[in-house]
């Protein structure tokens, strides 16, 4: 008994311990009310005092009002067809909902992303920019961003949204660079945001040195990282809409007579069932790169091929193989 008395004395003599003890007692009392209410739905009687709230009934009501959770369907391999033979040196296919790998070939190999870089560029634009803002095309845009373009007229003005469309549909290097230059902290600030995005998404095999996709020792990614980037980009409804667009025309913000007709560089759109984008890429060093989003019967996959000599053929073979050999039932 002396030990118990000494323990109580020590606990109550310390303000911090006393407060913790009282807090614990309060929690126990509340739990007691709940337990009594569950046993006696008419009302709780504790120490001769009736509670004003029937916790048991409240808990039961809340449990009934919980929205049922739809079980996640994890794809299961059901077919035994041999893996598709592809020219791509690295590739992956994942179930978008669960990230379950469905096909892989050196999925963590670092290589040049080419214009699939613009997937990350688009995410930064969506996060940081006012899409209705009007920006000016630099006078020397084709010195800074040669190659694939939406054929912007130097010194013309377009909205951020229309430049985003030109970058993703027509793979415009000119549009990508113009967007990056419009960053409040300039091109350096934009590149900082892109690399911070890679860190945020835990893309350990990804680094960016430019917003376009020009080859550089500091510009690389992997099929797995590209698939994750594509998944995050597709969370933006506008990006999802743009990459699924085959043809569109945008106009100058200062002269509506100046038109920029755009045609999607993705040849799988409209030719392979369920394809909804996402982005093509090609340079001499990168070879063919293609990121594809496909939905069939409500089941969505993302396919990435890199360093391919036949990017559309390789992607199609993987897509057809996955849907033949996997079930979501």
- Is residue 234 within 8 Å of residue 293, measured between CB atoms? yes
Instruction: Please tell me what DSSP assigns to residue 115.
Output: G
The percentage of residues in the chain with a pLDDT greater than 90, rounded to a whole number, is 78
Residues 145 and 281 in one domain: yes
Cβ atoms of 155 and 136 closer than 8 Å: yes
Q: Are residues 319 and 290 in the same domain?
A: yes
- Whether residues 170 and 219 share a domain: the answer is yes
Does 185 lie in the same domain as 44?
A: no
Kindly provide the residue ranges of all beta strands, DSSP E only, lying in the chain, ordered along the sequence. Answer: 45-46, 49-50, 76-77, 90-95, 101-105, 134-136, 157-159, 247-251, 259-263, 275-283, 287-296, 299-308, 326-327
Burial of 78 (0-12, 13-18, 19+ CB in 10 A): exposed
Residue 73 pLDDT grade (very low, low, confident, very high; cuts 50, 70, 90): confident
| pLDDT (mean) for 137-158 | 97
Are residues 275 and 311 both part of a single domain?
Answer: yes
Instruction: Say if 70 falls within a structural domain.
Output: no
Assign 71 a pLDDT band (cuts: 50, 70, 90).
confident
What pLDDT, on a 0 to 100 scale, did the predictor assign at position 25?
55
Same structural domain, 262 and 135: yes
Residues 295 and 263 in one domain: yes
Indicate whether 176 and 317 sit together in one domain.
yes
Identify the CATH number of the domain in which residue 82 sits. 3.40.710.10
pLDDT of residue 329: 85
Domain membership of residue 30 as a residue range: 2-65
Give the pair of three-digit tokens for residue 314: 């390789």
Q: Identify the pLDDT of residue 72.
A: 82
Last residue in a domain, options 17, 39, 65? 65
Q: Are residues 230 and 261 in the same domain?
A: yes
Do 184 and 44 lie in one domain? The reply is no
User: Tell me: the pLDDT tens digits for 197-213?
Assistant: 999 999 999 999 999 99
60 and 91 both lie in a single domain: no
> What is the per-residue pLDDT for 66?
58
Tokens of 105: 């070939």
Backbone angles phi, psi at 283, to 5 degrees: -145, 170
* DSSP letters for 175-189: HHHHHHHTSTTHHHH
Task: Name the domain count of the chain.
Answer: 2
């Amino acid at each position: 008994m002396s030990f118990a008395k000494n323990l109580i004395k020590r606990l109550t003599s310390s303000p911090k311990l006393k407060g913790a003890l009282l807090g614990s007692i309060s929690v126990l009392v509340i739990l007691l009310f709940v337990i009594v209410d569950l046993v006696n739905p008419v009302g709780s009687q504790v120490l001769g005092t009736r509670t004003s709230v029937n916790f048991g009934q409240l808990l039961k009501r809340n449990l009934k009002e919980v929205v049922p959770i739809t079980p996640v369907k994890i794809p299961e391999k059901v077919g035994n067809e041999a893996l598709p033979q592809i020219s791509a040196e690295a590739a992956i296919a994942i179930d978008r909902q669960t990230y379950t790998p469905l096909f892989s070939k050196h999925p963590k190999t670092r290589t040049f992303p080419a214009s699939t870089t613009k997937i990350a560029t688009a995410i930064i634009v969506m996060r940081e920019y006012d899409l209705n803002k009007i920006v000016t095309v630099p006078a020397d845009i084709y010195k800074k961003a040669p190659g694939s373009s939406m054929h912007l007229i130097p010194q013309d003005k377009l909205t951020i949204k229309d430049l985003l469309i030109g970058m993703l549909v027509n793979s415009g290097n000119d549009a990508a660079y113009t967007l990056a230059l419009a960053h409040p902290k300039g091109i350096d600030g934009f590149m900082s945001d892109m690399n911070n995005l890679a860190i945020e998404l835990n893309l350990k095999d990804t680094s960016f040195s430019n917003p376009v996709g020009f080859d550089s020792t500091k510009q690389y990614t992997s099929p797995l990282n590209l698939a994750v980037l594509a998944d995050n980009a597709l969370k933006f409804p506008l990006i999802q809409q743009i990459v699924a667009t085959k043809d569109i025309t945008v106009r100058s913000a200062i002269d509506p007579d100046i038109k920029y007709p755009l045609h999607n560089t993705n040849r799988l759109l409209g030719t392979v069932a369920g394809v909804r984008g996402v982005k093509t890429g090609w340079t001499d060093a990168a070879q063919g790169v293609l990121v594809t989003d496909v939905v069939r019967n409500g089941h969505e996959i993302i396919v990435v091929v890199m360093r391919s000599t036949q990017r559309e053929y390789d992607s199609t073979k993987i897509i057809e193989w996955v849907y033949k050999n996997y079930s979501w039932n």
